[in-house]
Amino acid sequence: MKKFLTLTLIFLLSSNVNAQFDATNMTLSNGERYIMNKWTPKDGMTYDFMEAAGKKTKMFNNSPENAIVTYQVLNGPDTGQFLRINLYASMENFVSYNSNSSDEREYWEKNVVPLTQANDGPTIWRRLSSLSNNWPDPNDGVIEPSKYMVVDTYTVSSQGYADHREIIGKIYSVIKERGSSAKTSLFKVESGGNTNTYMRVRMFDDPSERAQWADQERTFEEIYNQKYGYRAFEKDSQALNNSIMSWSKTSEIVMFVPSMSAGE
């Protein structure tokens, strides 16, 4: 159990077992799924909310099928809100997920909902494994949790979809080939939101040192241009920016909350 729980704690993004989501009849490709929901406690009830939600997590969400982790937003308009996150490492677990526990549902509705001001509703995210670097395999061994994550979300226009896909692929190719220590991955909305919406997650423990390059002599731009051509970084950066709906960009720093997460 300790091995599984330690592994689960590293993942961001993305589930909420309390939403009673039923994936039984969905037909989806294989891969990791995350379901994320943001919860806002009522004014003056943050501590009580944390205590009640944490107790529920320890009671009902300490198994590989439904373990929940929680992060708190540290900046922006959603400061103080809580992300309730669950990982489905396999399609079998994802499709079989159907929270029918009456005890679990009764506990949440009786003890947590009265302390809640609002929630955003569940969003299903699929991790794009080819657009990842140093991202832990949920089926591997023990991995220590990251204390913080930067979560960038944005929506790509229909006209800019092809440019976005091509340039993001180039960026992650450079990141992986040149030995970056960054723990990062890209996610795409699969249900519960605009399916042209993406989320980039970067995990780190020390805010002053998020990642290091094996090649310390050159900047990312210099390495990118060497691989893709003269001024390629400038041109592709502009095209990437143009592919994204300007109103859709958000960037949040979130902090891991052990007391509200699966664990001992």
Range of the domain at 206: 128-251
The reported pLDDT for the residue numbered 6 is 36
Identify the CATH number of the domain in which residue 188 sits. Answer: 3.30.70.100
The reported pLDDT for the residue numbered 2 is 40
First-to-last alpha carbon distance for the chain, in angstroms, is 9
Residue 146 burial (CB count, 10 A): 19
pLDDT band at residue 65 using 50, 70 and 90 as cut-offs? low
pTM equals 0.84
Question: Looking at the structure, do residues 172 and 115 belong to the same domain, yes or no?
Answer: no
Question: Looking at the structure, do residues 14 and 63 belong to the same domain, yes or no?
Answer: yes
Q: Which helix (H) or strand (E) holds 2?
A: helix 2-8
Question: Looking at the structure, do residues 50 and 149 belong to the same domain, yes or no?
Answer: no
Question: Looking at the structure, do residues 15 and 85 belong to the same domain, yes or no?
Answer: yes
Q: Domains in the chain: how many in total?
A: 2
Chain CA centroid to CA 234, Å: 28
Question: Looking at the structure, do residues 72 and 110 belong to the same domain, yes or no?
Answer: yes
Span 86-114, pLDDT tens digits: 876 566 656 655 445 678 889 999 999 99
Question: Looking at the structure, do residues 102 and 132 belong to the same domain, yes or no?
Answer: no
Question: Looking at the structure, do residues 71 and 175 belong to the same domain, yes or no?
Answer: no
Secondary structure letter of residue 135 according to DSSP: P
